[in-house]
Amino acid sequence: MLDVTRVDLSRHTTLRLGGPPGSLSTATHQDEIVQMVRAATEPILVLAGGSNIVVADEGIPGTVVLLRSMGVSVQRDRDGDVLVTVEAGQPWDDVVALAVAEGLAGIECLSGIPGSAGATPIQNVGAYGQEVAETIAAVRVFDRSANAARDMAPTECRFAYRTSLFRHNDRYVVLAVTFRLKPAALSPPLRYSELARALDVDPGARAPLAEVRTAVLSLRGRKGMVLDPVDPDTYSVGSFFTNPVLDGAGFAALRARAAEVTGVDPAAWPAEDGSVKVSAAWLIERAGFGKGYTGGHRGVAVSGKHTLALTNRGTGTTVALLALAREIRDGVRKVFDVDLHPEPVFVGCAL
């Protein structure tokens, strides 16, 4: 175990923020992950890509276990599907690139998302009309309560919009994820109108996997949602807030309020159960927090490309970032009476 009390965690997060841990160790395979978690001093933080985490400036006590386990195995199922098992530390976009190159459909819309494969089931990663919950066949975990590794079926994972059993739950450490993908030259029907427009097809149409991946990477790049060291908008956790999901009465109240404030309906997507998902970016911008907004918080800003991303401009602090996030959250509540909920995990700090 390597003591790193003089080294902060900013090098291990996409925000480039975070103070020192008590100690840090690096695990390169499943057995090593289990051994290090068993031996670690509490509290324990298991960290891989660091793309969905906000760490306190003063750091955190206890042990950080860095997941650097790599590897992908492919097996054809009896029904013709392909099972792709990925180690938790494997960079996620490498998995998507491999699937597209091998003609395996189901995760192509999730191209360009920073972070590791092991993190994807924790928050049920999704973008452009796809979620990993739709393709996950099993999640291999170390169950700290049972002191044993086991495979969990999708129903056990309790997947929901941007969450799962694993989120805010330190009982389970994800060791590997198995995805069930379909051999196909074309994507499943495209659900996201912005992506369909980028591909010059109608929503519901299918498109070649490589073209879908290229279009998604382009869209994410224009929004500053891919890691690019020369882009000042790159240091973020992606979308800082989730899109609110309102019931029928809540959405009716929002429509009335939006008509009064803006004169137009909010950007929203109705679901079959009667609920409506509302664009958090639309709410943020119409509440007065446009692209590049700083609010006087030094070293941090709303992304210059997308209002859902809050960025470290290179000299920011976690304190400043959280102050900006609170101002936006409170401003949206004041203008639209809608609560925004954060997407990243907070360690040693809180919104």
**Out of 10, 51, 69, 239, which one is annotated catalytic?**
239
Rounded to two decimals, the pTM is 0.91
pLDDT at 175: 98
* Cα(274)–Cα(262) distance, integer angstroms: 24
Which two structure tokens, joined as six digits, stand for 53? 């985490």
Question: What is the distance between the alpha carbons of residues 25 and 55, in angstroms, rounded to a whole number?
Answer: 17
Identical topology for domains 9-67 and 72-222 = no
Query: Are 116 and 89 a contacting pair, CB within 8 Å?
Result: yes
Strand ranges (E), the chain = 21-27, 44-47, 53-55, 60-67, 72-76, 82-87, 104-105, 126-127, 130-131, 136-143, 148-152, 172-183, 245-246, 268-270, 276-278, 300-302, 310-312, 345-347
pLDDT confidence of residue 196: 97
Q: How far apart are CA 31 and CA 35, in angstroms?
A: 6
Which residue(s) pair with 139 in the sheet?
Answer: 152, 177
- What the block records as the tokens of 289 is 């927090």
Cα–Cα distance for residue pair 213/107, rounded to 1 Å: 9
Dihedral over alpha carbons 227, 231, 232, 238 (to 10 degrees): -30
The reported pLDDT for the residue numbered 226 is 86
Kindly indicate whether the domain formed by 279-347 is annotated with CATH number 3.90.78.10: yes
* Catalytic (active site) residue 162: yes
- DSSP letter (8 states) at residue 341: -
From the list 10, 51, 111, 162, the catalytic residue is 162
Per-residue pLDDT of the chain in tens (351 residues, 90 and over written 9): 334 445 789 999 999 999 999 999 999 999 999 999 999 989 999 999 999 999 999 999 999 999 999 999 999 988 899 999 999 999 999 999 999 999 999 999 999 999 999 999 999 999 999 999 999 999 999 999 999 999 999 999 999 999 999 998 999 999 999 999 999 999 999 999 999 999 999 999 999 999 999 999 999 999 988 888 888 899 999 999 999 999 999 999 999 999 999 999 999 999 989 999 999 999 999 999 999 999 999 999 999 999 999 999 999 999 999 999 999 999 999 999 999 999 999 999 999
Nearest-angstrom CA–CA distance, 333 and 80: 49
CATH among 3.30.465.10, 3.40.50.1220, 3.90.1150.10, 3.20.20.210 for 72-222: 3.30.465.10
DSSP letter string, 238-299: S-SBPPPEE-HHHHHHHHHHHHHHTSSPPPEEE-TTS-EEE-HHHHHHHTT--TT--TT-TT
For 9, counting Cβ atoms within 10 Å of its Cβ (0-12 exposed, 13-18 middle, 19+ buried), the class is buried
Is residue 239 flagged as an active site residue? Answer: yes
**Whole-number Å distance between alpha carbons of 192 and 268:** 12
Give 178: exposed, middle or buried? Use CB within 10 Å, 0-12, 13-18, 19+.
middle
SS3 category, 218: helix
For the chain, domain boundaries: 9-67, 72-222, 279-347
Neighbours of 188 (CB within 10 A): 18
Q: How many CB atoms lie within 10 A of CB 127?
A: 19
Other beta carbons less than 10 A from residue 118's beta carbon = 28
For 248-259, the DSSP string reads: HHHHHHHHHHHH
At which residue do the structure tokens 């006087």 appear? 296
Element (H, E) at 138: strand 136-143
The CATH code of the domain at 9-67 is 3.30.43.10
Cβ within 8 Å of residue 120, ≥6 positions away: 92, 110, 132, 177
Query: Would residue 343 show up in a list of annotated catalytic residues for this protein?
Result: yes
Written as six digits, the tokens of 59 are 């750091």
